[in-house]
Amino acid sequence: MAARAGMLSRCDLMTEMVYELPEMQGIMGRYQALRDGEPEELAQAMEELYLPRFAGDRLPQSLTGLAVALADRLDTLVGIFGVGEKPTGDKDPFALRRAALGALRILIERNLALDLKDLLSRASLALGDKALPDAATQVYEFMLERLRGYYADQGVAPDVFDAVAELRPGSPADIELRIKAVTAFRTLPEAEALAAANKRIRNILRKSEEPYPRLPDSHLLLEEAEVSLADAIARVRPQVAPMLAAGRYEQVLSTLAGLSQPVDRFFEEVMVMCDDPSVRANRLSLLASLGALFLGVADIARLQWG
């Protein structure tokens, strides 16, 4: 039904009614479809194609309406970006910012667990060699910026959004869950110290040019503090894995907050960049394992206080 709805969409733009009264677009399409004997849901989709029309407007309710409204916006975005006509400055002649925000609202507020990157790639493939090769990537980044404004309007702190956006998640509905989780995590007493520890981990790993193993070797854990941290990570990892798979991000971060004490002790008592290259590489691996647990949800090193 969605395919037929897409084929019939915008037919009402050819009518004299819509020509004289542009605000009747969609409404006229619904009446036309009902008159021609189309199913009720398809007729409803003819109107819902245009929803939301503006910020705060209602969203499509039918599944067919959701499908055509989302497909129309993504196809428009990729098509216009694909021919090099993306918005510049205040100029947005094709209302692409509104189209992007409408698509994002549909995905988030109707809780559609769809991969936006995949959808954009499919839209780009449909254009073949007529589109620029990086059109889908450009549109994703453009939509991510629209998402920044969407959450700012809801009072979400910029650093919370940045912590989640740094991972470039594919699903906007998934981004919503992560933002809620990081917002809740930020209120925990352990949050600031763990964010600082993750920032320290990132800086250590970035400055180190030497390779380290994917997992630490327990035989190279010499200090009691690093043994304690390794044990804590090993205990927590199997707990958070199913939570991550289920999208229970708030529960993940709440569980990881329990690592605060062994993390603090590690940095107080252990010299990461020691002289022994094997021990040094093992400690880098341990820190990378710790950082990876948090990166399953967000880059909490980007959170700020004060």
Check whether residue 33 and residue 138 sit in a common domain.
Answer: yes
Q: Which amino acid, residue 253?
A: L
Check whether residue 153 and residue 44 sit in a common domain.
Answer: yes
By the 8 A CB rule, do 49 and 10 touch?
yes
Where among 132, 154, 176 does a domain terminate? 176
Domain encompassing residue 281: 185-302
Cβ partners under 8 Å of residue 86, min gap 6: 80, 96, 138, 142
The one-digit pLDDT tens for each residue of the chain (306 residues) are: 889 998 998 888 888 888 888 888 989 989 999 999 999 999 999 999 999 998 889 999 999 999 999 999 999 999 999 999 999 888 899 999 999 999 999 999 999 999 999 999 999 988 888 778 899 999 999 999 999 999 999 999 999 999 999 999 999 999 999 999 999 999 999 999 999 999 999 999 999 888 999 999 999 999 999 999 999 999 999 999 999 999 999 999 999 999 999 999 999 999 999 999 999 999 999 999 999 999 999 999 999 987
Residues 211 and 192: their CA atoms lie apart, in Å, by 29
pTM of the model: 0.91
Where among 176, 193, 215 does a domain terminate? 176
Which residue from 78, 71, 133 is spatially nearest to 107, judged by alpha carbons?
71
Check whether residue 103 and residue 222 sit in a common domain.
Answer: no
Where among 176, 194, 209 does a domain terminate? 176
Find the helix or strand (DSSP H, E) in which 210 lies: none
Check whether residue 161 and residue 239 sit in a common domain.
Answer: no
Check whether residue 290 and residue 157 sit in a common domain.
Answer: no
Check whether residue 295 and residue 236 sit in a common domain.
Answer: yes
Q: Got the DSSP string for 146-172?
A: HHHHHHHHTT--HHHHHHHHTT--S-H
pLDDT of residue 291: 96
Check whether residue 212 and residue 170 sit in a common domain.
Answer: no
By the 8 A CB rule, do 271 and 127 touch?
no
Check whether residue 147 and residue 218 sit in a common domain.
Answer: no
Decide: residue 299, CB within 10 A, 0-12 exposed, 13-18 middle, 19+ buried: buried
Q: Tell me the torsion sign for CA atoms 237, 238, 239, 244.
A: positive
Which residue from 143, 80, 78, 158 is spatially nearest to 108, judged by alpha carbons?
143
Check whether residue 19 and residue 119 sit in a common domain.
Answer: yes
Residues 46 and 65: their CA atoms lie apart, in Å, by 7
Check whether residue 156 and residue 276 sit in a common domain.
Answer: no
Check whether residue 161 and residue 205 sit in a common domain.
Answer: no
Check whether residue 26 and residue 133 sit in a common domain.
Answer: yes
Per-residue b or e along 113-151, where b marks 16 or more CB atoms closer than 10 Å to that residue's CB: eebbbebbbebbeebeeebbeebbebbbebbbebbeebb
- If one counts the domains in the chain, the total is 2
CATH for 219: 1.10.730.10
